Structures are given as C-alpha cells and as structure tokens.
Structure 1
C-alpha cells in the first residue's frame, strides 16, 4: 500500500509540475490565452497537453522535494518559465497593434476606437482587424502547433529545478520589445511615407492659398487614401508579420 501511495504521489507531482509550466504559458500566450477564451477551456486544454507530454518529460524532471518550501520554489520557477514563453508570443502579437496605431494616425482614423478582444482593451480599427487576422492566420497555418512545441521543447533549454537565467530572460524580453516595435514600424512604413508626403502637399497648398481651409477640405481624402492603401497592403503586411512570428519561435525549438 505504501509503494502504491508513493507511486501515485510521484505521478501527481509529475503532472502538477508539467501543468505549472504548460498552463501558465497557455494562459498568457495568444490564441488559447486570449480574453475571449473561457477560463475553463484554457485549464482543460492545458491539462490535456500536460497529461500527454508528461511521460516524455518525466526523465528530465527533478525528484520530489522533501519539504513544502522546496516544492514552492520549484513551482515558482516553472511558472516563471511559462510566463516568459507566453510573453514572447504576446509581444510579437503587439507588433500588429503598433502597426495598426500608426496606420490609424496616418489615415485620419485616430479617434475611431473599438474594443479589441485579443488585448481586452480598446484599440484602433486597423489594429483590431490586424489582431483578428493574426489569430486567424496562426490557426490556418497551424502555427498554434508551433506554440505548443515551443512550450514542450523549452524543457531542453530551461531544465526544471535549475537556476533560472533571469538576466538572459530580461535581455530577451527587451530585445523582443524593440523587435516588435520595429516590426510594426516596418509594416506601416508605406503609410508613414504617404502621410508625410500628403501633409507636405497640404502645407504647400495652404501657403499658396491661405484663404482656403485645406486641412478641413482634404480630411475625407486622407481617410479615403488611407483605406485604399490599407486594402492594397494588408495581405503583404500580414504575411511579413507571419514569417517573423514563425522565425522567432523556431529559435526556441530544440529537440528533447
């Protein structure tokens, strides 16, 4: 009976430890971790994935700690790694909101706000549309499998029970914040150039005809031009973002 209890306790410990990293990562990263996904669905999905991958990961897990304090430290470390992995994907999704905000400013749609369920807050119209398209493309191209693989293969990089490289994590997050902002600016570069040229043209026209309220007359033209360019460049922008999203996550994939 004692042997059975010990085996059962070790198995529960393995499931719990795997669930801490997998469940935390899935609750932060896009798709399954978005605000519009019910909490129960997130927990059930994380539990199912944890149960499936636990036998393959079990040889890499440390033995059961002898006291509750060591167990809490181990669980906190796994949750930290899960938050880190989910934050990477969430920062890359933020590039879409950056690009959408720039597009709305250059198109005269800055005051048009709509609720963005992916971010659980209000955002620009182009940013919300691009956020929805980003989630759709992740599922259509099966990149959600890549997210799951990144979490599972992270055990080869972040060994459970080992010291957590906080400095390296902070550097990676800082680089990803810079990269996501740069990615958003690159996606919205045509709108930045067109907006500057349009503003320059209006300024010259205002100098030539000061009595004409050119900025009030050409506001609708600015919106029409912005929407026309958005329709032309949307496909290229989303494919560009999707390739960068995939290449960034592939860097974290290592075989067990």
Structure 2
C-alpha cells in the first residue's frame, strides 16, 4: 500500500500548491478582498477553483512532499505568485485614494471622514466615492474575471511548483506604482484646476472688497464647486482607471517565469 500512499500524497501536494497560488490571489485582488465579502465565501471560491485546476496537473510528481522545508519553500513561492497579481492590481487602484485625499484637502472638506472597513480605518467621503465608482467600472468591464483568467493562464507556462519571478519583477511593480500615482493626479486635475481658480478669484475679491468675509464665502463656494466638478468629471475619472487594466495584467503575467524541474523539486 506504499504506492497508494505515495500517489495520494503527491496529489495532495499538487492541490496544496494550486490552492496557495489561487488563494493568495483571492485574498489580495480588488473586489475579492473586500471586507464585505465573507471569508467563508472567499475560501470556498479558492477551494472550488483549485479543485477545477488540480486535475490538469495531477500527473506532476514531487520529491519534496516528504521534505517539509523544501515543500514549504514551494508553497511560499506559489503564494508570492498569486499575491503578485492581486497586489499589483490593488496598487493600480490605490490612485483612487490619492484622488480623494487631494480633493478633500484642497476643498477644505478633509474633516468629513467616516469609518470604512475597506480602508482599514477612516476615509474621506470623496475617497469612498471614487473607490466605489472605480470598483463598479471594474466589475462592469469584467475585471474580476480578467484577473482570475490571468492567474489561470500562468499555470500554462509555470505549472504548480515550477514558477518563479523574473528579473523584471521589481521594475514592473515600480511602473504600476508610478502609473497609479499618475492616474490619481489626472483624475483629480479638473477639480484641482477649478479650486485653484476659485482661490485666485477669492483672493482678488478680498483685495478689492475687504469688507467681505472671504473665509465664510470661500468655504461654501469651494464646497459647491467641488461637488459640481466631481459630478461633471466622475465619468472621466472612471474611464481613466479602466484603460490600464489589461496592460497591467499583461505586465504582471510577464514577471512569472518557469523554472527547471530540478529547481522545482
């Protein structure tokens, strides 16, 4: 019965490696990692997808399941690959927080913060508006399916236990972070320009009509101008964040490269 035990252990090892890669993505990718999604649902999704993928690689064999240290390193590598795709996409959408923070501070409405489990703390109203808008666009475009498909595609050239990061990993992550920052600035640019012109106008008024209380007038004017500008430009901001989704996924996929069977165990 030793052959049966060895075969079952090998199949369990393959399933564990597949589950590590898929589970890491489900735990870190946009939409999947929302605090409003129960952990049970996310766990069931990861296990179900792993059960569907595992039979495709059931023929693989490993000498390392009996070596806990070596097999643990393989599992860690799979977790890092899945987390790479999830966190890479999550980094792209962090520009939304930049947009909300810039608009809140420039409009003087940064004190309007409410507790949000999505940000693990308090967040401004504008940050949450842009966050939920971009998430809605992400779902409408099928971004959650594209992210999952991108992960499943990595199994084609980097099977479980035989994948690692390429030399371009660090550069790709820096590019995504830079792109996220640029997207945040571009999304906030119309409101920033409107508030700048408003501040300039209030400065001219205060010089010509010093009897007017500029602080009292300016806060109301900036609030109305901010809300109006957001209503006009919110669709454009959502369009900005949908453009780089496919390109970012392709860049992240390019960082996952196969390794030799000897290196994989």
Q: What TM-score do you get using the length of structure 1 for normalisation?
A: 0.89
Change (3 A) 1:250 1:169: closer
- Secondary structure of 1:218's counterpart equals helix
Instruction: Using the TM superposition, give the Cα deviation of residue 233 of structure 1 relative to its aligned residue in structure 2, in angstroms.
Output: 1.1
Quick one: distance in 2 between partners of 1:252 and 1:240?
Answer: 19
- Deviation by residue 1:200-241 (Cα, 9 ceiling, x = unmatched): 111122222333321222211110111011111111211221
How far off its partner does 1:96 sit? Answer: 1.3
Alignment of 1:132-171 (within 5 A): 132-156=132-156, 160-161=160-161, 164-165=164-165, 168-171=168-171
| C-alpha distance 122-163 of structure 1, shift in aligned 2 (>3 A) | same
Instruction: Trace 1:53-64 onto structure 2 (pairs within 5 A).
Output: 53-58=53-58, 63-64=62-63
Q: Counterpart of 2:263?
A: none
Corresponding position of 1:123: 123
Once residues 186 and 127 of structure 1 are traced to their aligned partners in structure 2, the CA distance between those partners, rounded to angstroms, is 15
Is 1:76 aligned to residue 59 of structure 2?
no
CA deviation map 1:91-147 (0-9, x unaligned): 112111111222222333211112333323211111112212222222232221101
Secondary structure class of the residue paired with 1:123: strand
Point out where structure 1 has 5 or more consecutive residues left out of the alignment.
none
- 1:203 and 1:41 map into 2 onto residues whose CA distance is 55
Cα RMSD after superposing both structures? 2.3
For residue 122 of structure 2, give the secondary structure of its aligned residue in structure 1.
strand
Q: Cα–Cα, structure 1 residues 57 and 140, in superposed 2: closer, same or farther, change >3 Å?
A: farther
Could you tell me which runs of 5 or more consecutive residues in structure 2 were left unpaired when the two chains were aligned.
Answer: 259-265
Q: How big is the shift at 1:81? A: 1.5
CA contact (8 A) 1:28 1:83 kept: yes
Partner of 1:105, secondary structure, is: helix
- CA offsets, 1:166-202, max 9 Å, x none? 7633322222111101110011110111111111111
Match of 1:215 in 2: 215
